[in-house]
Amino acid sequence: MENALYYRLALTMVPGVTAKSAKRLIEVFGDAEAVFKASANAFEEDLGFSELLIHHIQSFLPNPAVEKEMAFLEKRQIKTLFIKDRDYPQRLMHIDDPPLLLFSKGPANLNAKRIISIVGTRNHTEYGKQVAEKIIRELPDEDLLIISGLALGLDGIAHRAALANGIPTLGVLAHGLDEIYPSQHRALAKEMCLTGGLLTDFRNNTAPNKYHFPRRNRIVAGMADATIVIESGEKGGSLITADLALGYNRSVFAVPGRINDQKSVGCNKLIRYSRAYSYINTVDFLREMNWWDEAIGLVKQPPLFYEPNTMEARLLVLLQEKSIMSIDELQLKSALKNTEMANALLALEMQYLIRSLPGNRYTLII
């Protein structure tokens, strides 16, 4: 079983070997196999490796846990990406602590021309949902990858919006690929793996505990050219991701919200203290990212000259008067027949003028 993956896996499992020390070991010895086969004398004092770490490395193999992990990867057809591989996410090479080894599923191009991370609160508002969908709908989709954390709330909304618009989307996990957390997103994750995928630096049987999420967030921030925070309270994982992105010299954007909205406090503070650009519209975003010249012909906009018919206009007027209305209210106030109502609602949805909400309710799109 002496192959490259065996030693690469083993190096990630040695007690005391961190992402930084693993990277340093590879720089010194060239590859993982050479690390394990090096004599004690090869670990010179000025290299900065402790005697305890050297002991852990030299006594670690053979180890059945490594063989068990390899069997799991083969059975689940999970791809591994070593830090020196060509397919390894090259943007991660420029952060302080790039993962030595990544595990992935799906065909996502992890080195796409444009990569955007979209993050936000789990307890989002309808405004946050609409904004996330609007942002993704209007982005140029040529060689674009949307990243998020597969969490409930705005992460899941971002992934679904990307799928709905034919854009590959990648979920970065805070646990191993033997499970999907939260379980509500199992079907979503399966669909994502058809065109995008899942990525983690955690091995099999690693539970999603709270200490793993900041480690996950460094990949969400480090892989992206820009991170967009849509809604966040004063504290939360989204702000951790934004801070990491700033530390990696990446662009950070925040969607402004109302000053009395607790779910926009984090975004408003990022903007107030000049830690994030204000995300107002797609064109300004593309210009700020220097993507405008090449994307100008690709920006997707709703039809500018769509003229609703009489029945559709009647519904739009009602929704302007009251932002959210049930289908029963709309039918009562518009006096439309069932078929007329269904056709008018469908036409307005197709033009991205309204959207449906749970409970047979409708609202205008921003």
Beta strands in the chain (DSSP E): 79-82, 101-105, 114-119, 144-148, 169-172, 197-200, 226-229, 251-254, 277-278, 324-326, 354-357, 361-364
In terms of domains, do 256 and 188 share one? yes
Q: Which residues lie across from 145 on neighbouring strands?
A: 115
DSSP string for residues in 99-140: -SEEEEES---TT-SEEEEEE--SS--HHHHHHHHHHHHHS-
Shared domain check, 283 and 216? yes
Measure the CA–CA gap between 165 and 147, rounded to whole angstroms. 14
Residues 253 and 286 in one domain: yes
Same domain for 314 and 281, yes or no, is no
| 261 and 122 assigned to the same domain | yes
Asked whether residue 282 is domain-assigned, the answer is: yes
CATH number of the domain enclosing 134 = 3.40.50.450
Domain of residue 11, CATH code: 1.10.150
Same-domain status, 123 and 14: no
Q: Are residues 139 and 209 in the same domain?
A: yes
Task: Report phi then psi at 261, rounded to 5.
Answer: -95, 115
Q: What is the pLDDT along the chain (366 residues), one digit of tens a residue?
A: 458 999 999 999 999 998 888 888 999 999 999 999 998 888 876 677 888 999 999 999 999 999 999 999 999 999 999 999 999 999 999 998 999 999 999 999 999 999 999 999 999 999 999 999 999 999 998 899 999 999 999 999 999 999 999 999 999 999 999 999 999 999 999 999 999 999 999 999 999 988 899 999 999 999 999 999 999 998 889 999 999 999 999 999 999 998 889 999 999 999 999 999 999 989 899 999 999 865 444 445 555 556 788 888 889 889 888 888 999 999 999 999 888 888 888 888 877 788 888 888 999 876
Which residue, of 50, 76, 102, is where some domain finishes? 76
Q: What are phi and psi of 104, to 5 degrees?
A: -140, 155
Residue 149: burial class (beta carbons within 10 Å; 0-12, 13-18, 19+):
buried
Taking only the tens place, the pLDDT of each residue in 244-264 is 999 999 999 999 998 889 999
Q: How far apart are CA 208 and CA 185, in angstroms?
A: 14
End-of-domain residue from the set 76, 92, 125: 76
Secondary structure class of 206 (helix, strand, coil):
coil
Rg (CA), the chain: 24
For residue 167, give its domain range.
Answer: 114-295
Shared domain for 234 and 355, answered yes or no, is no
- pTM for the whole thing? 0.82
φ, ψ for residue 23 (rounded to 5)? -60, -40
Domain holding 342: CATH number?
1.10.10.10
Same domain for 138 and 5? no
| Co-location of 276 and 351 in the same domain | no
Our count of domains for the chain comes to: 3
Strand partners, 86: none
